[in-house]
Amino acid sequence: MNKFIKFIIDYVVYVAKGGPKFYAWMGFLVLFVGPWIYGSYTQATHGLIVTGLTDQVSWGLYLANFVFLVGVAAGAVTVVFPAYVYHHEPMHKVTVLGEMLAVAAVIMCLLFVFMHLGRPDRAWHMIPYLGVLNFPSSMLTWDVLVLSVYLILNLVGGFYFLYKKYVDEPLNNKFYLPIIFIAIVWAISIHTVTAFFINTMPARPMWHHSMMPIRFITTAFAAGPALIIVCFLIIRQNTKLWIEDSVIDLLSTIIIFCLGIALFLTMSEVVTELYASTEHSFALKYLMFGKHGLHDLVPWFWTSVVGMVLGFILLLVPRIRKNYTVLPYICLMIFGGVWIEKGMALMIPGSIPTPIGEFSLYEPTTLELFNCAGNWAIGFIVLTILLKGAIGILLGDVRYAPASANR
């Protein structure tokens, strides 16, 4: 027990120390927390009336970010799977960093869910035996369960690995490996259930098709590795932890295959909906071309398409893909394109038109934007803390030193 307490203390002390870049980055993120506190308090006291959500469009920017971040959390499996299934040794050395990303992404998911509740104090209704969980008929219940379990799996697996590295003891594989393999399967389940969360609504034709789960998973395995590559390249440039080129190249290859499949599925959906156009295709027409003089989402859709297609083409060229100066910008372009495709270009037009044919516009309020930016900032603060501590342990800068040894 004394070792574990010392592990926590040494971890926190190491994370608190840093250079000018570290403090500047953390200070920049903290700037968004102030408006987030104000926005959260205002929404908690006045309700969702302070957002741009309406009875017609009840799922907006909060759930758009939630759906996207579930994919980012699932995308962490692209680091774990090659390491433990295909025994990719360079990837194995940095697997724990992928688990830390998954933890931070799930925390952001939960923040956006709490924001969307309007009254976070009522979240206790989702707790088994205390509230009315409505299991198994409620798809929301399934989503909460799989996300909670995935968070626990990554917390336990990641910090167990770091603790054993800290005290320089071998892993108990009978305990550790089942957690890893369950987490691999669970990563796919969290985004599958999230897809079922929306595609089981027959009143929303844009969502109501069986292709949604595979589309979610493919875009997740494009956006997740894209963010991981950016993080890994930043770590290589600013720390002593060297992440080998083969790790970056493998993640880039995963992005190519998964993004290519995602683009093919998007094209298939467009052809299916528009070739024999019915009233069920109104949402996609509104998204792509506008309708009745309403064009708010059109720039978002085409920006997403251009970002994903251009990023896909550039990654197909080996000379560009292996240029680690240009690669992070391509990854950010893909990350942004998938964020739009999974958010503004999916969640919002799914509610426009409404089941009775109303075209009701949705525009996020300034307060809503404050809250979203604050959630992202808190998530990146958590990610920075987790990654910094993990890197310190991997490098050996943070390790167990008994009191007798110190004396």
What are 163-197's pLDDT values in tens digits?
999 999 899 999 999 999 999 999 988 888 888 88
For all residues of the chain together, what is the average pLDDT?
88
Q: In this predicted model, what pLDDT tens digit does every residue of 341-376 receive, in sequence order?
A: 887 888 888 888 878 777 888 888 999 999 999 999
pLDDT of residue 404: 45
Answer yes or no: are the C-beta atoms of 205 and 280 closer than 8 Å: yes
pLDDT of residue 209: 83
Answer yes or no: are the C-beta atoms of 263 and 313 closer than 8 Å: no
pLDDT of residue 57: 86
What is the reported pTM? Answer: 0.91
Q: Which amino acid is at 190?
A: I
Task: Give me the percent of the chain exceeding a pLDDT of 90.
Answer: 51
Mean pLDDT of 19-37: 94
pLDDT at residue 406 greater than cutoff 70: no
pLDDT at residue 280 greater than cutoff 90: no
Across the chain, which distance is largest between two alpha carbons, in Å? 80
pLDDT of residue 307: 93
Supply 234's token pair. Answer: 């930043």
Taken in order of first residue, the domains within the chain and their CATH numbers are 61-355 (1.20.1630.10)
pLDDT at residue 47 greater than cutoff 90: no
Mean pLDDT of 62-69: 91
Q: How far apart are the first and last CA of the chain?
A: 21
Contacts 24+ apart (CB under 8 A), 156-164: 157/99, 157/183, 158/96, 158/99, 158/100, 158/103, 158/386, 158/390, 161/95, 161/96, 161/99, 162/7, 162/11, 162/96, 162/389, 162/390, 162/393, 163/4, 163/7
